Homo-oligomer: A and B are copies of this chain.
Amino acid sequence: RSTMEEPSGTHTKRKVVAVVGGGLVGSLNACYFAQRGFNVEVFETREDIRQAKIVRGRSINLALSHRGRQALKHVGMEEKIVSQGIPMHARMIHSLSGKQSPIPYGKKGQYILSVDRANLNKELLTEAEKYPNAKLNFDHKLQDWSPETGLMTFARSDGSTEHIEADLIVGCDGAFSAIRKQFLRRSRFNYSQTYIPHGYMELTMPPIDGEFAMKPNYLHIWPRNTFMMIALPNLDKTFTCTLFMPFEEFEKITMTSSASHFYYFRLPAQAMVSVKCSPYHIGDKCVLMGDAAHAVVPFYGQGMNAGFEDCIVFDEILNQFDEDLSAALPEYTRVRVPDDHAIADLAMYNYIEMRAHVNSKWFLFRKHVDNILHLLMPKTIIPLYTMVTFTRTRYHKAVERWHWQDKVKHKCFLSLSLSLSVLQIRPSVLGSVMWLHR
């Protein structure tokens, strides 16, 4: 691993990159830019979570899959993070009757990983700090910045302000991005934020007799039509359960209900938002990545993975354009927008489908048919979930291929049923012909 090496590109004045946001995508991006030899300054509003007593806010577990792993691999972090995750080979559907049915995520040996958000964030921050040309600035709240000059002003909690002039500002400050607000003030910026009617609440399922309360290597799902619960395993043998329920229902629940005896309610119900926008850049000065560019609802397990993949894609484009930001930034918008919009739409589609169908035999049947077709024709029929989760097929290409495959499947079924009906008809046709010639 190359983390402690001095960056090689010292032939020109090092570019100053301000990464706004020290969350998952921000801290990973810091590693990418540091590895490239840029002077990296990370600015995070909150204190250092490695010193924090309570980490508030976002969800506890995440599902790490191929795209996220590839992004970690580029900065030598894959092995370490994977070793701290728990493989989940299948969904485990819990029916109303209590029956459990596993549905594999892919082929034998393919799995997604349950990882702890806070731990992953800490590891990434520690990794970024290893680069001598990267500096982490906590307790720095963005106050103002100029997309023309790259001049930024940050407020400290002691009332002081700090200024920095950056060559590139990378907005990795999440779904409610402060950087993005400047984009919204400009003309011809397309933007949408859509809240879904469901909220979520996280609960912890403690171990039983020092062991996992359920089988650990699964993502457990309790589909119950209007509401749904999922559970992901943690290294400490607890499960983090996430209850998805329409806000109206949450409002009806009293905290004194029997559920509170079993689970510990961490937070009140949280809203879920899907954010899409375009362009991702302003001039040669600023670019949005991760949730700041494309917050997605969590029903495809791709939020973090898409954000991490942003880092690889931008890195590849920087190579392609020899670090010319005035060319790389528009290219990043051109290349990445359709993919991020595709995964945002897929996640929303899954939200609607999971509520409607995951409980039904039809859903199970289709998943099985897809997996069987994939086994029979591994190069022709690739389940959408596989393309999204276990490959780096561009998201929008995966969606295109999915539609194409659906057409092919439809045609196959059609010719199959036609052939069958022809076979049924032929005897009678033969019969009447024979009758005529009798």
* Residues of A that sit less than 8 Å from B by CB: 187-195, 247, 271
Contacts and interface: CB of A to CB of B under 8 A. Distances in A.
Contact of A192 (B188, B191, B271): B191
A199 to B, nearest CB: 9
A191 B187 CA distance: 16
State the copy count for this chain: 2
Contacts of A193: 189-192
A188 B269 CA distance: 12
A195 B183 CA distance: 13
Contacts of A191: 191-193
A247 B187 CA distance: 12
7 contacts: A187-B195, A187-B271, A188-B271, A190-B193, A190-B195, A192-B192, A192-B194
Given A189-B193, A191-B192, A192-B193, 13 more contacts: A187-B195, A187-B271, A188-B195, A188-B247, A188-B271, A189-B195, A190-B193, A190-B194, A190-B195, A191-B191, A191-B193, A192-B192, A192-B194
Contacts of A192: 191-194
Nearest to A192: B192
A88 B195 CA distance: 42
A205 to B, nearest CB: 27
A264 to B, nearest CB: 24
A50 to B, nearest CB: 29
A367 to B, nearest CB: 31
Contacts of A190: 193-195
Contacts of A247: 188
A190 B193 CA distance: 6
A189 B273 CA distance: 9
A268 to B, nearest CB: 11
Contacts of A271: 187-188
A160 to B, nearest CB: 25
A397 to B, nearest CB: 23
A192 B187 CA distance: 14
A71 to B, nearest CB: 29
Task: Output the residue of A188, A247, A271 with the most chain B CB within 10 A.
Answer: A188
Contacts of A189: 193, 195
A193 B271 CA distance: 21
Nearest to A188: B195
A189 B192 CA distance: 10
A432 to B, nearest CB: 13
A18 to B, nearest CB: 24
A192 B190 CA distance: 8
A270 to B, nearest CB: 9
Nearest to A436: B436
Contacts of A195: 187-190
A221 B187 CA distance: 27
A56 to B, nearest CB: 15
A175 to B, nearest CB: 11
Leading 3 A-B pairs by shortest Cβ distance = A192-B192, A188-B195, A187-B271
A236 B253 CA distance: 66
Nearest to A272: B188
A338 B188 CA distance: 25
Contacts of A194: 190, 192
Nearest to A197: B188
Nearest to A193: B191
A191 B274 CA distance: 11
A377 to B, nearest CB: 36
A247 B191 CA distance: 19
A188 B248 CA distance: 13
A408 B192 CA distance: 35
A193 B247 CA distance: 25
A391 B189 CA distance: 35
A63 B29 CA distance: 52
Nearest to A194: B190
A248 B192 CA distance: 24
A189 B190 CA distance: 17
Nearest to A195: B188
A250 to B, nearest CB: 12
Nearest to A276: B192
